[in-house]
Structure 1
């Protein structure tokens, strides 16, 4: 069985046992959370009703993404700015859909 879940403004197709990387969610590693915003669910080619359907997941880790370098320059004005950014994210393991 699979489900399409919305979290952090993005949509993810998940099934039991999948690991996904989502925007930062509150919680410690090892705790369980439920994702209630299920958009679609089904098995094979058959779709099921999403009324009251939730997806439970376990937080594997709170981590940071790869560093992104932001470099600004204006020609002939001696203007250079270098800045780095690492986005926080959460790694989830889907335990059950139901």
Structure 2
């Protein structure tokens, strides 16, 4: 089964257990978050396309890591004008794992990991 979700102004085709980096999503690592903007959902030739979203469909994702992308340098120079400007930018990113694709208003089966367990795993 797959779904097309929209988050951070971009669209992603996802399947269960996929791991991807998207624009920042609020939450702590180990939390389960639902993404309600599902544009299409289906399996094989049986695909349901939303107008603009599929009613009752959502995708449960587990936040794996909060981080930042690589630094991008914006350098502008106006020749012979003694004018230049250098700016850097690092985009906030969230690494997510697709837990499950839910249809017909179902609730996620997986619960958020305990914060203590997450801290122990980080310490190891």
Per the TM superposition, whether the score is higher than 0.5 is yes
Structure 2 residue runs without a partner (length 5+): 103-124
Residue matched to 2:23: 23
Say if 2:56 is the partner of 1:59.
Answer: no
Give RMSD over aligned pairs. Answer: 1.2
| Correspondence for 1:95 among 75, 87, 99 | 99
Cα offset, 1:51, TM superposition: 2.4
**In structure 1, what is the Cα distance between the partners aligned to 2:32 and 2:70?**
26
Residues 2-81 of structure 1 correspond to what in structure 2 (within 5 A)?
2-48=2-48, 50-81=54-85
Going by fraction, where is helix more abundant, 1 or 2?
2
Going by fraction, where is strand more abundant, 1 or 2?
1
What per-residue deviation string (whole Å, max 9, x for no partner) do you get for residues 31-62 of structure 1?
11000111101101111473211110000111
Structure 1 residue runs without a partner (length 5+): none
TM-score (norm 1): 0.93
Structure 1 runs (4+) deviating above 4 angstroms are none
| Higher RCO (CA 8 Å, separation ≥ 6 residues) | 1
